[in-house]
Amino acid sequence: MANNNQREITGPILDEESELTLAELCRACGMPAEQVIALVEEGIIEPRGSRTRWRFSGICVRRVRKVYTLERDLGVNLAGAALALDLLEEIEQLRARLQRLERKR
């Protein structure tokens, strides 16, 4: 029997080459601009360009969503979320490196 609760998710693929305005990033993440600006000030995401014309890479969407999840689920503050995010990304990189090394054997 098929699972009728599954939904297909469609939309553009966002990567390092994608660029979003502050308003687009806010819509994509469901956050007000003030919260996104706080993430910039904490160094969690880095915009390109001047403050009046910020552009964000598509990767920022992923980072903002992870931070939101860390804050919501674990109750960590922005500084703690920033540290946790850095550590999670380092683990991802190390796992990818380990997989590449194991494939070379």
What pLDDT, on a 0 to 100 scale, did the predictor assign at position 9?
44
Domain boundaries of the chain, sorted by first residue: 19-104
What pLDDT, on a 0 to 100 scale, did the predictor assign at position 3?
54
Q: Which residue has the tokens 């380092």?
A: 90
Domain topology for 19-104: Multidrug-efflux Transporter Regulator; Chain: A; Domain 2 (1.10.1660)
As a whole number of angstroms, the distance between CA 70 and CA 33 comes to 19
As a whole number of angstroms, the distance between CA 45 and CA 62 comes to 10
Q: What is the value of pTM for the model shown?
A: 0.73
Backbone dihedral angles phi then psi of residue 48, each to the nearest 5 degrees: -100, 150
What pLDDT, on a 0 to 100 scale, did the predictor assign at position 37?
94
Q: Which residues are paired to 55 by β-bridges? A: 48
* Parts of the chain with a pLDDT under 50: 1, 9-10
As a whole number of angstroms, the distance between CA 104 and CA 74 comes to 38
What pLDDT, on a 0 to 100 scale, did the predictor assign at position 13?
58
List, for residues 69-83, the tens digit of each pLDDT value.
Answer: 999 999 999 999 999
As a whole number of angstroms, the distance between CA 28 and CA 58 comes to 10
What pLDDT, on a 0 to 100 scale, did the predictor assign at position 16?
61
What pLDDT, on a 0 to 100 scale, did the predictor assign at position 88?
92
